């Protein structure tokens, strides 16, 4: 089973994350930002990754540190769980329609960290009225941190990832469609290629 567990502790955040790449989409999440918790659950379901995340951070400052560091921890989980990448498909892509929104994700497990992020987000926060009434720190979501999450993810995963919104209206659907597309692209890239089960899919003989 391709599994990994990592812990990232800094003066700003404390995150423990675990993944099973060959799971069934189960997510155990102890996460203080409601919208991001929803995205992590969506990511697990559409990628069929079993995900376990517990996170705390300096939300009194803003959400950037916690969201970015979550991406860093999750990317490190992928890198460790994939090992030497022997037998994987390596590349994956997905066009994901979500009502008026169409998202595109393409990934290469290349050993090279690179992100293209063209989502056309407004930058305005998403507000949960019930959450805002209870806790001003977690009742909204800073949409500009989505790019921070994926940039942190590729930095430790060693993946090349292109994420684009081809059309769309609201930020909620744009972000959610991107997470679904990315999960399905990653699922395809991480799957074992039965024709190359003992092969590292690179002319270099190594992916690092």
**Looking at residues 149-167, what average pLDDT do you find?**
98
- Both structure tokens of 94: 């997905």
Q: Sorting pLDDT into bands at 50, 70 and 90, what band is 27?
A: very high
- Both structure tokens of 145: 């941190």
Distance CA 133, CA 189 (A): 42
Distance CA 204, CA 200 (A): 9
DSSP-based helix, strand, coil % in the chain, nearest 5: 35, 30, 35
Neighbour tally for 194: CB within 10 Å: 8
Residue-range domain boundaries for the chain: 3-196
Fold adopted by 3-196? Ribosomal Protein S5; domain 2 (3.30.230)
55: left (phi over 0), alpha (psi -120 to 50) or beta: beta
Residue for token pair 């919104």 = 165
The pLDDT tens digits of the residues spanning 161-186 come to: 999 999 999 999 999 999 999 999 99
Q: Sorting pLDDT into bands at 50, 70 and 90, what band is 120?
A: very high
Q: What is the mean pLDDT of the chain?
A: 94
């Amino acid at each position: 089973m391709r599994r990994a567990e990592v812990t990232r502790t800094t003066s700003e955040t404390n995150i423990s994350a675990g993944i099973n790449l060959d799971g069934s989409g189960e997510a155990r999440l102890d996460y203080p930002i409601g919208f991001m918790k929803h995205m992590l659950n969506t990511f697990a379901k559409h990628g069929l990754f079993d995900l376990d995340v517990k996170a705390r951070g300096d939300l009194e400052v803003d959400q950037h540190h916690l969201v970015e560091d979550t991406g860093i921890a999750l990317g490190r989980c992928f890198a460790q769980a994939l090992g030497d990448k022997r037998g994987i498909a390596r590349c994956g892509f997905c066009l994901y329609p979500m009502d008026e929104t169409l998202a595109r994700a393409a990934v290469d497990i290349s050993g090279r960290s690179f992100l293209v992020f063209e989502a056309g987000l407004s930058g305005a926060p998403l507000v949960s009225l019930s959450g805002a009434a209870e806790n001003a720190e977690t009742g909204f979501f800073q949409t500009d941190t989505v790019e921070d999450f994926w940039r942190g993810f590729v930095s430790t995963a060693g993946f090349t990832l292109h994420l684009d919104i081809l059309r769309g209206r609201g930020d909620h659907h744009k972000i959610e469609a991107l997470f679904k597309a990315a999960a399905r692209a990653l699922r395809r890239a991480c799957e074992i290629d039965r024709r190359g089960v003992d092969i590292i899919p690179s002319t270099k003989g190594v992916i690092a």
